[in-house]
Amino acid sequence: MDPFALPARSGTAEAGPDYLALPTEMHVFRAPSLPDDPAARVRCRTWLQRIGAALEAAASGAAVGQIVLDEASAADCASLDEILLDGEVSALVLGAPEWQIGETAYTGLWRLRARDAATGRRLDRLEIGPIPAVVAARAAASWGLMELPAPEAIPPEMVNAPHVLAELRARSAAFRPGGAAHVINLGLLPLAEAELTWLVRTLGEGPAIILSGGYGTCRIRSTRLAGTWWVQYYNAADALILNTLEIAAVPAVACAAQDDIAESASRVRALEAAYP
């Protein structure tokens, strides 16, 4: 059973949205083209100044709020798409509203898009940080300390999986935000396919799904057990090469480092010179 299979949406037979399709090659940075309209160039420079200042503040450790683009014009949004480009990490956060998230080419700068569940109004935000706050918050809202299944409820063929679940539950109960992550490499354990399927069903599926690209792909999904995530690594041929369960607020492989945010601030400031 694939813990990353997305729920089917009403009115469609597709398993998930096309914006979470797996990357087929590593992203390569390309410089944005300048708009022909001088007024558009001025607006681009204004956006870059605002984004650069926010990145610098975040790099110094200051708390930075979201940059709200809800009322930005279509032209400005198109310019931002051209300026910011796409990065290596994308995410889907299920719930209301359902957030489509993509890291930009500037590590630590994230674009968040959704539709207001009540009004249908477009929601469009920029956020700076290791990972958008809604990812951890929505995942945590679904967590509850799981009780171990009663012995009589465990199928007899489940030999090692119940012990893995017991360790996960103990690690989950002991985990505190900011603490060290704990990783269980399932490939090193004598688990049959049926036992892996049982673990998936027992842990359940949480609302946060993350894809991190590069030379291969890392697929991450929250579970219903507090702090517990499936983290699976695939090579360029989409073959599973590492299958783990990780206890963390959000797995580090999906998060930007503080040094990355500082570098992004410098890159954005340098880009301002291209918009006279």
Instruction: Tell me if 21 is assigned to some domain.
Output: no
Task: Check whether residue 243 and residue 146 sit in a common domain.
Answer: yes
Which CATH number does the domain housing residue 246 bear?
Answer: 3.30.1370.140
Q: How many domains does the chain divide into? A: 2
- The reported pTM is 0.85
Residue 152 pLDDT > 90:
no
CA atoms of 94 and 99, how far apart (whole Å)? 7
**247 shares its domain with 146:** yes
For residue 2, is it within any domain? no
29 confidence band (pLDDT: 50, 70, 90): low
How far CA 5 is from CA of 100, 226, 228, in Å, comes to 16, 20, 17
Which letter does DSSP use for residue 237 in this model? T
Q: Are residues 97 and 84 in the same domain?
A: yes
Whether 241 and 264 map to the same domain: the answer is no
Predicted confidence at residue 49, as pLDDT, reads 93
In a shared domain, residues 248 and 187: yes
Q: What is the per-residue pLDDT across 260-271, written as a single tens digit (0 to 9) for each? A: 999 999 999 998
d(CA 73, CA 249) in angstroms, rounded, equals 36
Question: Mean pLDDT, to the nearest integer, of 211-219?
Answer: 87
* Mean pLDDT, range 119-136, rounded to an integer: 96
Distance CA 189, CA 192 (A): 9
Decide if 53 is inside a domain: yes
Is pLDDT above 70 for 208? Answer: yes
Asked if 78 contacts 43 with a C-beta cutoff of 8 angstroms, the reply is no
Domain range holding 201? 138-254
Q: Are residues 105 and 143 in the same domain?
A: no
Task: Assess whether pLDDT exceeds 60 at residue 258.
Answer: yes
Q: Is residue 4, in this structure, part of any structural domain at all?
A: no
Of 107, 140, 97, 112, the residue nearest 229 (C-alpha): 140
Average pLDDT, the chain: 86
According to DSSP, the residues that pair with 234 across neighbouring strands are 217, 240
User: In the predicted model, what is the mean pLDDT of residues 241-257?
Assistant: 96
Q: Is residue 63 part of a domain?
A: yes
Tokens 């219903």 belong to 224
Same domain, 71 and 44: yes
103 in any annotated domain: yes
